[in-house]
Amino acid sequence: MRVLGVEGTAWCASAAVFDAETDAVFIESDAYEPDSGGIHPREAAEHMGDAIPQVIETALEHARDEYDDRTGDEPPVDAVAFSRGPGLGPCLRIVATAARALAGSLDVPLVGVNHMVAHLEIGRHRAGFDSPVCLNASGANAHLLGFHDGRYRVLGETMDTGVGNALDKFTRHVGWSHPGGPKIESHAKDGEFVELPYVVKGMDFSFSGIMSAAKAAYDDGVPVEDVCFSLQEHVFAMLTEVSERALSLTGTDELVLGGGVGQNARLREMLAAMCEQRGAEFHAPEPRFLRDNAGMIAVLGAKMAAAGDTIAIADSAIDANFRPDQVPVTWREGESVARVPAPGDADLRGAEATVEIRGAEVVKRRLPKAYRHPELDATLRRDRTVAEARLLASARKAGVPTPLVHDVDVSEATLTMQYVGDCDLAAALTPDRARTVGGHLARLHEAGIVHGDPTTRNVRVESEAERLSLIDFGLGFSSDHVEDYAMDLHVFEQSVQGTARDADPLVDAVEAGYREVGDEEVLARLRGVEGRGRYQ
């Protein structure tokens, strides 16, 4: 099968030809470069209108010249694929119109591709991985995806802005032109570490605070090289940490990187170091497949077309807010990113710590992370150890079962605690147990405690007594904000949806348990948190 792909979600007009038999990909791109500031939607659309016909013609000429197996009136390609979204509406409409016209004139099927799923699939395709976690790090996007139960599930995502756009906000403040990421990378080579905010909420994260702090540091006279260096060390460490949390939650040992920010050498270095330390495999495609490109559209388009997943022209409307978890995955069967352990299995390798069982006790050690800057790493390990010890005791006073802490060694970031439970909740999840967790979270919140990372791997089940204990409060904190409580619920429900079969009744049970004990306002705010995701 041979497919022509067309990409134009924002700044890059691109066309490509993919030949499935040889795995060869030809890409022709024409990127929009604004004179100043960031991407201007009107100018981007004008560029797209001028450039798309030219890049398509170049790709068609390549198909005609490179392949001589077609005779007579046979079209040079078997299908036309295009990016339906997410992206800038005016740009997407231009690309869709061109793709429809081309498919019609060639009399071949039309395939509508989700741009973000294409970022994931090109990495999986080039790596040869089975079912990896994918970190997508691009201009308008930042999220973790994994295939489960027929769709790509969002395991974690930014709660405000995409990573590339966040970095661009700082470079625009400094007065540098778009794109800002490469300029930050260049200046960071001469920088030194300064402390900035670090915000991780389970597998979700936020960039607004760190960007405000970076601008303020620059305005206060901190050398721009130091701010750039520290932006990279904090932002990319956040992305690497949540990637490791996704590996830990799902149990998979494969990670792929997608998106234009993935061209940054420091980000790739961090992810590779994390995977090496963890014993996982990591793959970053070559740069031409990381930045926005039609090659990934053509490759995924070929998989979809082979599965019969084509669309009629009348049904090919673009969707500027096309979430990856809205896409029915027709080209994959019988696979899942989730490797949930069976009851009784002992997987003691978490995302940030190891656990050693000593009879009725466990010793939890937060080991140094090779990917993080030493100062940042030391601060996080120390602060999280102290927070966990304090919040475990506070939660127990609030009526929530937690292990007793026997000893704390802050210098070694080590806790000695009571051993609780027979297995993780991930291995024994039922609606009744989900309901119990909902009640536990409500009691925490009534006491002004935020768990910070409530997932199905951070709840222990004692089957005989039917007792559920919450563990791993390292990301927890005290708060009286409804928003923080809603985020706790959101994190737990994401972990259920990303790993459990028939997740909807389980999520309903969590909220029913929360409603019995907690504040209805938190559940109302949860709906707002869900709607705030960048990929809505």
Residue positions annotated with a catalytic role: 453
DSSP 180-210: -HHHHHHHHTT---------EETTEE--HHH
8 A C-beta contact, residue 121 and residue 303: yes
3-class SS of residue 513: helix
Structure tokens, 141: 């996007």
For 382, residues 6+ apart whose C-beta sits below 8 A from its C-beta are: 410, 413
Residue type, 392: L
Q: DSSP character for 79?
A: E
Q: Is the peptide bond before 86 cis (omega within 30 degrees of 0)?
A: yes
Q: DSSP character for 131?
A: S
Structure tokens, 259: 């998106």
What is the spatial distance between Cα 376 and Cα 194, in angstroms, rounded to a whole number? Answer: 9
For 326, residues 6+ apart whose C-beta sits below 8 A from its C-beta are: 114, 151
Q: Is the peptide bond before 368 cis (omega within 30 degrees of 0)?
A: no
What torsion, rounded to 10 degrees, do the Cα atoms 296, 302, 303, 308 define?
140
Sign, CA torsion 499/500/504/509: negative
Within 10 angstroms of residue 74's Cβ, the number of other Cβ atoms is 10
Exposure string of 323-350, with b = 16+ CB inside 10 Å and e = fewer, is bbbebebeebeeebbbebeeeeeebeeb
Structure tokens, 196: 């900035």
Structure tokens, 448: 């002004």
